[in-house]
Amino acid sequence: MNKEIFSEIPMRTWNWLGVNEAVVDRDLLVESQNLDIKIEAGHQEKMLVEYRKESCGTVNINIGENAVLKLTQLQLMPQNCNHVNEINVVLEKKAKLQLVAVETGAKSFASKVNIILKGDKSQADVSLLYFGDGDRSLDMNYVLEFQGRKTVGNLEVYGGLMGESQKIFRGTLDFKQGAKQAKGYEKENVVVLSSGVRNRSVPIMLSGEDDVVGNHAVSSGKINEDKLHYLMSRGLSPAEARKLVLEAAFNPVLELIDDEALRQEIDSYIKERLENE
Amino acid sequence: MAQEKTYIEDIERTLYDIKNVDKSKYKSQSGLTEDIIRDISARKNDPDWMLEFRLKSLEVYNQLSLPNWGPDLSELNMDEIVTYVQPDAKMTGSWDEVPEDIKDTFDRLGIPEAEQTSLAGVGAQYDSEVVYHSIQEDLVKQGVIYTDMETALHEHEEIVRDHFMKLVPPKDHKFAALHGAVWSGGSFVYVPEGVHVEIPLQSYFRLNAAGAGQFEHTLIIVEKNASLHFIEGCSAPKYNVTNLHAGCVELFVNDGARLRYSTIENWSRNMMNLNTKRAVVGKDGVIEWVSGSFGSHVSMLYPCSVLKGENAKCEFTGVTFASKGQNLDTGASVIHCAPHTSANISTRTISKAGGKATYRSAVKVTKNAPYAKCSVNCESLMLDDISRSDTLPTMDIEGDEADIGHEATIGRISDEAIFYLMSRGISEDEARSMIVRGFVEPIAKELPLEYAVEMNNLVNIELEGTMG
């Protein structure tokens, strides 16, 4: 089958780690659904993008000066499908983006997000939730590029992995020369629920500017046993206790989804997966 | 508040830059051919298996490509590199027998003095051959072997054959293959079971010849429940042609053993430093790396620890200081292969005057390593806005019982800290210097005192190039 490089990290590393690029079936890319959006200066918008049957989608957004966009992207593809999605955003001066992304579907998916903080004082807050189970394959590549002065970028990632799922998350904070007083923050918390999981994380920080503050942190581990024991001592079954702890772990992202029905749908989906494990 | 800065050229690194007249006894032709390798092997009186190993390595070298990641290596032209330079000196155990110019070089670097005060053994390599080796008598009586690799190859052939390039096989990468083909010099250390070498051993590698390569091989075996602190130093004078260092370090830390491997690397700014270091650690064993990278034009150096035995541990402490014309790509990798293994990686990188410092790491936890723990901490300091600092860690974790954490920060010296120190009567330059010394202090404190002093001197040399 024809393969194509869908995304690459901005700076390559050892090939044996297998994280330099995401390779996908070329056929997937042919059927791409594209969306080009311009948020006019000073406007405030909310957008919801849902993937339920599309194999490939690209969203290109320009957010004008002082404009604000809240973009929620939910990938709820059936478990037997492959999928790729892409978001490209350019933020002008003082523009703001809140991106809430949920990746819980598809047998195998690759997503890439490129956010360019072009204008001075522009800001992007990105919250991502991913969940992998069975033999699913999850591949994500997020890049926040700081070009303007006093720009702010936050990337918070919450993940859960079980079964024999395999995941790669690459998150890059790229401070370009001239991005003075930019601030970037990235964190990824992964809860691992099964021994068959393979979990790869690549938190990259690139800087050509000294007058910046950049931080990143990754933590990966199983559910805290003390929390589980406490909940089980209150009468919850092991499965119920795990569900509750995982819900709490995902809550920072779930609570950002405005639509109660969608929030419930994702919550139910994860619960069902936990019960079936 | 915006900070205006001016820059001046780096001061001369006089101590390291003094060149000796090239009085080599023999130099191979530049380039890399089978004839050159046969010639090196014959001059070294290699056993047949070693000649065969060298020739197979050459084949591998010719098959492999340059890495498609990391710094640009296109400046390196192997056709112009002289791979073997034999100094006009025989290996000896007395400094009095070392030719005057070579002895003066090591005197200036403080090696004989350190030998008297704080070392249990010294090896000194000049270009491609070791010219001096010594070890305290009481260690010899306990069965400790510390000698040059050529002597080891003849006197302890079976041990060498069982271990040589087993941890870093020539197929590992192009420069490992190059090393396998043209290696020369280096140190061999064997510490028998239960023996604790209380005072460090040190090998110092000096490359004097212009346009030459140094390919020393260090092989250390620390048997069960034994311990050793080994120090490696290296430097070269600056030339306007490219020099190459492609050494290889293989460390075997057996069950319950402990090895500390400290390096202060201060190659000249025309050096391509493409070194490979790897350790395998047995049950309850400990490998400690202390690594300071200050010199070279381009470095690719990532000591690797393979934690093979249950409860094996790795501690890595590193500092990298990249200045004008330097691209220093350094870091570490750890592979957890057994239950309850643990690793702690802590690094500091500094970049200034257009220098590029990259921290690169890999933490791999295999399925066979439940309850593995690894903590990675990387802090980067940029001293101006024409330099680069990049951080590229990767974690690859299998299973659900590992506990892995990674943290990194990047930034510059805060104006508040400078102002605070200035308000206490300290000049701005001294305030900057104090903050940088404080930044690298976690590494300095891991070094023996005299090496910590050398590291602080190197930091000061670098900082004198920047006027705040």
Domain contains A94: yes
pTM (2 d.p.): 0.92
Instruction: Say if A276 falls within a structural domain.
Output: no
Residue B305 in 3-state DSSP? Answer: strand
Task: Inform me whether the pLDDT recorded for B11 exceeds 70.
Answer: no
For residues B206 and B235, the answer to whether their CB atoms sit within 8 Å is: yes
The span from the CA of A248 to the CA of A251, in Å, is 5
The domain tally of chain A equals: 1
Cβ distance B69 to A216 less than 8 Å, yes or no, reads no
Angle between helices B449-463 and B428-444 (to 10 degrees): 140
Is B252 domain-assigned? yes
List, for residues B66-121, the tens digit of each pLDDT value.
999 999 999 999 999 998 888 888 888 888 888 888 888 888 878 888 887 778 88
Position B1 in a domain: no
Q: Using one digit for the tens of pLDDT, what is the confidence trace for B229-271?
A: 999 988 887 777 889 999 999 999 999 999 999 998 888 889 9
pLDDT at residue B372 greater than cutoff 90: yes
Distance CA B380, CA B322 (A): 11
With bands split at pLDDT 50, 70 and 90, how would you rate the model's confidence at B4? very low
B462 part of a folded domain: yes
pLDDT for the residue B467? 37
User: How large is the ipTM?
Assistant: 0.94
What is the Cα–Cα distance from A139 to A24, expressed in whole angstroms? 10
The sign one gets for the Cα dihedral A264, A265, A267, A272 is positive
pLDDT surpassing 90 at residue B37: yes
Residue A105 neighbours by CB distance under 10 Å: 20
Residues 6+ apart with CB under 8 A from A202: A9, A13, A19, A168, A169, A170, A171, B392, B393, B394, B395
Number of neighbours of residue B223 by Cβ within 10 angstroms: 19
Q: What is the mean pLDDT of residues B435-464?
A: 73
Mean pLDDT of B420-445: 84
What is the rounded distance in angstroms from the CA atom of residue A128 to the CA atom of residue A268?
18
Question: What per-residue confidence (pLDDT) applies to B6?
Answer: 41
Q: Using CB atoms, pick whichever of B360, B380, B386 lies closest to residue A13.
A: B360
CA distances for A66 relative to A44, A88, A155, angstroms? 9, 18, 21
For residue B450, give Cα distances in angstroms to A33, B77, B436, B447. 65, 37, 19, 8
Q: Give the per-residue pLDDT at A59.
A: 97
CA gap A199, B400 in Å, rounded? 9
pLDDT at B22: 72
pLDDT of residue B336: 98
Domain that holds residue B27: 6-467
Q: Which residue of A has its CA nearest to B352?
A: A210
How many CB atoms sit inside 10 A of residue B436's CB?
23
Confidence at residue B371, expressed as pLDDT on a 0 to 100 scale: 94
Is residue A179 within 8 Å of A148, Cβ to Cβ? yes
**Is residue B244 one of the residues assigned to a domain?**
yes
Domain total in chain B: 1
Comparison of pLDDT for B463 and B154, the residue scoring more: B154
Signed CA dihedral, B344, B200, B20, B27: sign only: negative
Residue B257 is predicted with a pLDDT of 98
Biggest CA-to-CA distance, chain A: 57
Cα–Cα dist B348/B380, whole Å: 6
Cα radius of gyration rounded to whole Å, chain B: 22
* Interface residues of chain B, partner chain A, Cβ below 8 Å: 2, 68-70, 333, 360, 362, 364, 367, 370, 380, 382-412
* Percent of chain B residues past pLDDT 70, beyond the cut: 93
Instruction: Write out the residues of chain A at the interface with chain B, using a CB-CB cutoff of 8 A.
Output: 11-15, 17, 19-20, 175, 177-178, 180, 192-195, 197-222
Strand-pairing partners, residue A37, are A61
Contacts B397 to A, Cβ<8 Å: 192, 198-200, 220
What's the whole-number average pLDDT of chain B?
89
Contact assessment for residue B193 and residue B249, using Cβ atoms and an 8 Å cutoff: no
Q: Give the per-residue pLDDT at B7.
A: 44
Do the domain assignments include residue A253? no
Three-class DSSP category at A241: helix
Is B228 a member of any domain?
yes
Q: What pLDDT was estimated at residue B266? A: 85
Mean pLDDT of B386-399: 95
Residues of chain A with pLDDT under 50: none
pLDDT band for position B461 (50/70/90)?
low
More confident residue, B312 or B422: B312
- Across the range B220-236, mean pLDDT stands at 93
* Residue B268 Cα, gap to closest chain A Cα (Å): 25
Task: List the domain range (segments joined by +) for residue A111.
Answer: 3-223
**B396 with A200: Cβ contact below 8 A:** yes
With a cut of 70, say whether residue B10 has pLDDT above it.
no
Could you tell me if residue A76 is inside a domain?
Answer: yes
Nearest-10 crossing angle of helices A225-233, A238-254? 120
